[in-house]
Structure 1
């Protein structure tokens, strides 16, 4: 189920970062007031979301580089090593690479 973007899902982390889509070869800026899911949807990248609060796991996506700031409650520490909930995550590093 795809929902319309809502910019209030990810609380500002104080800075933006660039989202790199590994398979699509896209680089998208994520502003402090935007969620990763919003940026993906606005760029035309299909991402399913449901709760948009990091609870359900619908939007979980594999990440390959960067330092995600996990703000979800659906992923275990083991799962967070390879996946991120794009509805609520931010990034500690300047870029976050997703397997999209």
Structure 2
């Protein structure tokens, strides 16, 4: 008997995406191994973080455009429609715009 696996054999690699800050029009590149929170902090943008795992909600930030890849456990589906946990989320789209 042959067994067929329906699960992928490898995890897709993270991709780089552009983060746009709507208020300042700053554009930042988020690398495959970086979090949005890290990139924002390195650029001098004040973002509070605590757990850095998407559990506490400290880093939750409003988003305006793009398609976030939510990886948190602190936001409801309704909250994810307007907010993103920048410590752990990625972007499905090439650009993600935050209300910062």
Q: Is the 8 A contact 2:14 2:33 kept in 1?
A: no
Kept in 2: contact 1:13–1:90 (CA 8 A):
no
- What residue is the counterpart of 1:80 in the other structure? 80
Counterparts of 2:66 and 2:54, CA distance in 1: 19
Say what the alpha-carbon RMSD is for the aligned residues. 1.1
1:93 is paired with a residue whose SS is coil
1:64/1:13 Cα in 2 relative to 1: closer, same or farther (>3 Å)?
Answer: farther
Superposition TM-score, scaled by structure 2 size: 0.87
Report the number of matched residues.
89
- Deviation above 3 Å: which 4+ runs of structure 1? none
* Greater fraction strand: 1
Structure 2 segments unaligned to the other structure (5+ residues): 1-11
- For residue 59 of structure 1, what is the aligned residue in structure 2? 59
TM-score (norm. length: structure 1) = 0.87
